[in-house]
Structure 1
Amino acid sequence: MDKLSSKYLVQMIERDHIYSVLKLASHLSYTVMDVISEANRLGYSFDNLMQDPNKVVIVKK
């Protein structure tokens, strides 16, 4: 994921309170796995990670 997309990802999580990985991926034109990987790199944790990838949500610490 490029730096601009990564900054936008953080903005959507922190300011817009979007926690659905599927919704974030659709806004960024990346795959769900790309968003999970980048969010993980940024220190976010997840719920439903081992179940349906389309239902993974980011959990705020």
Structure 2
Amino acid sequence: MNKLSSKYLVQMIEKDHIYSVLELAGHLPYAVMDVVSEAARFGYSFDNLMQDPNKVVIVKK
């Protein structure tokens, strides 16, 4: 994921309060697992990670 997309991802989580990984992926040109990987790199936790990838949500720090 490029720097601009990473910055936008953090903004969507922190400022816009979007926690659905599927919804975040819809705003970025990346797959759900790319969003999960990048969010994990920033230290976010997840719920439903081992169940349905389309229902993964980010849990705030």
Unaligned residue ranges in structure 2 (runs of 5+): none
Identity %: 85
Relative to the length of structure 1, the TM-score reads 0.98
Q: Does 1:21 align with 2:21?
A: yes
1:24 Cα offset (Å): 0.2
Q: Does 1:6 align with 2:6?
A: yes
Residue number in structure 2 paired with 1:37: 37
Unaligned residue ranges in structure 1 (runs of 5+): none
Give me the CA root mean square deviation: 0.4
Write the distance in 1 (CA, Å) between the matches of 2:32 and 2:19.
Answer: 12
1:35 Cα offset (Å): 0.1
